[in-house]
Amino acid sequence: MGHTPSHPKDTHRLAEPDSDSSAPSDADAIDPEPRWQALIAVLATSGLYLALPQGLTVGPRWVFPMIVSLLLVATVAAHRWSHHHFDRMLGFALTSLITIQMIVSLFRLIGALPAHREAPTALLVSAGSLWSTNVLVFALWYWRLDAGGPHRRERREGHTHGAFLFPQMTMLPEARAAANLESWSPNFVDYLFLAFNTSTAFSPTDTPALTRWAKVLMMVQSLISLTVLALLAGRAVNIL
């Protein structure tokens, strides 16, 4: 008579898989996300850095790619051995390093324009490298931050909430079932598509931002892209 049944919400809370405290293995993942796409994006940023003129880099040209490679190897190893918290921290450090490098190179490019230190061809290569790096960097940020990052996303049955509203999330249950998307979850390519559209259209296209941090990141990305294109256009007009 005096027994009080447990509330169903308590059971749901106990079953919530978002915490990393238990440090589960990758075998617990419902829908594992491919990591090789993000790995290629990081390596591409090193190649784009090497394509920059000497005046837009800092220190010896080999230092930045070497540091990126070391951090990337450590991140892959941490993920392989299921040290997910360490993997997350290394991922943030790696993406932050690439972001800082891009911003420093952008400021150096801005400073070089009034003195006409860069030849037209070098300017075109620099602008293309920085614009492409901008796309890759913010794709990495969106991928790392949305809904707790890839490790937490892959442990959920489908993607029902996050910082971005993907079109698959707005489909009716019957339509999702017909398209075999009941357990759909975004991976790096989806965030790369979002970042590319933000850098070209300067606004979201098919994927609106829902949270304030996502809106701020998209504004910063659009501003960097607009700055690169404006500098390139202005220099082209001066040459003509």
pLDDT in tens, the chain (240 residues): 444 444 444 433 333 344 444 344 444 566 678 899 999 999 999 999 999 988 888 889 899 999 999 999 999 999 889 888 999 999 999 999 999 999 999 998 888 777 666 677 788 888 899 999 999 999 999 999 999 989 888 888 778 889 999 998 888 888 888 888 888 889 999 999 999 999 998 877 889 999 999 999 999 999 999 988 887 766 665 665
Q: Is 99 helix (H, G, I), strand (E, B) or coil?
A: helix
Q: Give the model confidence (pLDDT) of 33-46 as tens digits.
A: 889 999 999 999 99
Three-state DSSP class for residue 65? helix
| DSSP-assigned beta bridge partners for residue 164 | 209
The two counts, helices (H) then strands (E), for the chain are: 9, 0
3-class secondary-structure state, position 171? coil
Phi-psi domain of 69 (left: phi exceeds 0; alpha: psi -120 through 50; beta: other): alpha
This prediction's pTM: 0.83
